[in-house]
Amino acid sequence: MSETTDIIQELLQGVGLAADYRTDSLTLLEKGESRYVRDLKLNFTSTLTSEQLSNKECALLGLSTAINNNNKPLTVFFTKYAEEQGCTPEEIADAVGCASLLASNNIFYRFRHFTQKEKYTQIPARIRMQIMMKPATGKEFFELMSLAISAVNGCEMCVNAHENSLIQMGTTEERVFDAVRIASLVTSMGKVVF
């Protein structure tokens, strides 16, 4: 067995998948003896802890990102990890709700931003967002998840709005940066494990 295969098996077992689980992407990396699989494993492992975020927050960010990206294996993994970190069912539901809400918001506000027509900013959005008012995860962390998901979804207007809100709440730029880093690495993992 090759070193690449060993690393892939460790990576898969780390997320609760069988050692022989393969996607087309993983197979191509394995056949090419890609050195990238070591980076992928280390990068993904770094999503579980942070100097700026608690393990619980890392778990919820990972879960929200996995839900946003429609990635079943990572959703299962991060749900279990969130439970292990003491997340309540309500906090887990907030992570899921955040991904769903931001899917609509990111499309809608990206449209407004792209068109740059004043008329569209005057028409009410009519998108219910009650979850943002009193989230189980707390207002600051829900904003942080919203920013990370908006970054993944590529909504400049939403990223700027959430980042501004977070800075006004006193959130450090390092905390913001790490949340987006985690979301980006979970998204990266989802390109080969899905």
Measured CA to CA, the distance from residue 137 to residue 121 in angstroms comes to 30
- Catalytic residue status for 155: yes
Helix (H) or strand (E) holding 13: helix 3-14
Report whether 173 contacts 167 (CB < 8 A).
yes
Q: Look up residue 144 and give its two tokens.
A: 């942080």
Catalytic-labelled residue, pool 58, 87, 98, 155: 155
Residue of 58, 87, 98, 158 marked catalytic:
158
Question: Following DSSP, what letter does each residue of 30-96 receive, concatenated?
Answer: HHTT-THHHHHHHHHHTTS--SSS-HHHHHHHHHHHHHHTT-HHHHHHHHHHHHHTT--HHHHHHHH
87 is catalytic: no
Residues with catalytic roles: 155, 158
